[in-house]
């Protein structure tokens, strides 16, 4: 599940056959009249019933929808992991489209039918949950984690020949193990070994950010051992986390750091786009100028205010589709008063025409 899937969905060729885009909150309700029932399943059942009525009398479009409905029901009954917090499904049997995404963060319940996939919540997921490496270290032990799309997985290990062996799960996470190397040499040597291992992991995973945590002795040594390239993606905040801290507590500790980083990054991009636009540089502001730049492949980063009243669902989805098919990033901007006041949409450009 990554930008490649986003691009494949964005390049989906529309026909008259129905395409289902489903985002579901699959957390069991803790309170109310039906504790344990998932709100997403209730919304899904009701919406599928409504959609089915809209496609009668029977034809090829209804046949395709009914195949999708059966497949969705079978998936939920037999394949869906009950530990998953949220689920996305993109389906169109007539066009052999079937993609499922299970994540550890929350989607807003939404079941949409149209000619192309609705990608807004997927784009928001990719933007808000960029793959991040977390390194928790002391003077002779290092634990590495990969966080992506709301999940945190601990990974591992050094074998007897000191070769790094990273084993990946099918859905992009890591097998939970502890990476530990006890050495009798000095602390700097260990820090260098740990830094080299984490940089291999960053490259392998294509991670966009590194967070380090540990004690006051080990973290400076580890940070100094990182290459300049790695330090450019390093979080400024170094967390104080004991090496024995349980994974769930570590996940809670880093959640705020990631949210703050994403907010700062999107605000910086919005400020830069506005400044570039004012000086007639590599910035576009407003729906018309942004769409023109997207259609010409000029956009490096598409910026959208998720709460803007000026962006309809149709425009929003079209802009995401154009960005994804041209290899542009999508950055969701929140709580930026100036950006909202000028329409809530803009772009950083690769070049001018």
**Positions of CATH 3.30.1330.30 in the chain:** 262-349
Averaged pLDDT, 189-211: 91
Say if domain 3-127 classifies as CATH 2.130.10: no
276: tokens are 């570039």
Tell me: pLDDT of 173 over 60: no
CATH code that applies to domain 129-245: 3.30.420.60
Q: Read off the pLDDT of residues 98-135 as tens digits, 9 standing for 90 and up.
A: 999 998 888 999 999 999 999 999 999 998 888 899 99
Fold of 262-349: 60s Ribosomal Protein L30; Chain: A; (3.30.1330)
Per-residue confidence band for 203, with pLDDT thresholds at 50, 70 and 90: very high
Tell me: pLDDT of 256 over 90: no
Q: Read off the pLDDT of residues 284-315 as tens digits, 9 standing for 90 and up.
A: 999 999 999 999 999 999 999 988 877 888 89
**Positions of CATH 3.30.420.60 in the chain:** 129-245
pLDDT of residue 32: 55
Its pTM stands at 0.79
**Positions of CATH 3.30.960 in the chain:** 3-127
Per-residue confidence band for 349, with pLDDT thresholds at 50, 70 and 90: very high
């Amino acid at each position: 599940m990554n930008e490649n899937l986003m691009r494949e969905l964005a390049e989906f060729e529309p026909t008259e056959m129905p395409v289902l885009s489903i985002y579901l909150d699959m957390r069991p309700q803790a309170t109310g009249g039906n504790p344990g029932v998932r709100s997403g399943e209730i919304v899904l059942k009701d919406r599928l019933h409504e959609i089915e009525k809209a496609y009668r009398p029977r034809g090829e479009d209804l046949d395709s929808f009914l195949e999708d409905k059966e497949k969705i029901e079978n998936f939920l009954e037999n394949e869906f992991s009950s530990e998953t917090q949220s689920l996305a499904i993109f389906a169109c049997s007539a066009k052999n489209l079937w993609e499922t995404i299970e994540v550890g963060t929350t989607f807003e319940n939404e079941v949409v039918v149209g000619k192309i996939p609705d990608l807004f919540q997927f784009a928001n997921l990719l933007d808000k949950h960029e793959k991040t490496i977390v390194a928790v270290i002391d003077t002779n032990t290092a634990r590495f984690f990969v966080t992506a799309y709301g999940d945190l997985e601990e990974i591992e290990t050094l074998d007897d020949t000191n070769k790094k062996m990273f084993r990946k799960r099918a859905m992009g996470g890591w097998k939970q193990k502890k990476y530990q190397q006890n050495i009798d040499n000095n602390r700097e040597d260990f820090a260098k070994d740990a830094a080299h291992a984490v940089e291999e992991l960053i490259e392998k995973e294509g991670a966009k950010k590194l967070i380090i945590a540990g004690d006051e002795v080990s973290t400076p040594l580890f940070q100094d051992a990182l290459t300049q390239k790695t330090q450019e993606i390093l979080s400024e905040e170094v967390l104080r986390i004991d090496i024995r801290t349980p994974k769930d507590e570590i996940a809670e500790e880093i959640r705020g750091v990631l949210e703050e980083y994403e907010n700062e990054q999107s605000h910086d991009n919005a400020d830069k786009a506005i400044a570039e636009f004012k000086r007639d540089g590599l910035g576009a502001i407003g729906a018309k100028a942004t769409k023109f730049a997207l259609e010409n492949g000029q956009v490096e980063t598409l910026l959208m205010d998720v709460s803007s009243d000026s962006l309809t669902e149709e425009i929003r989805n079209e802009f995401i589709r154009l960005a994804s098919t041209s290899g542009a990033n999508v950055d969701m901007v929140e709580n930026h008063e100036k950006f909202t006041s000028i329409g809530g949409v803009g772009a950083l450009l690769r070049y001018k025409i």
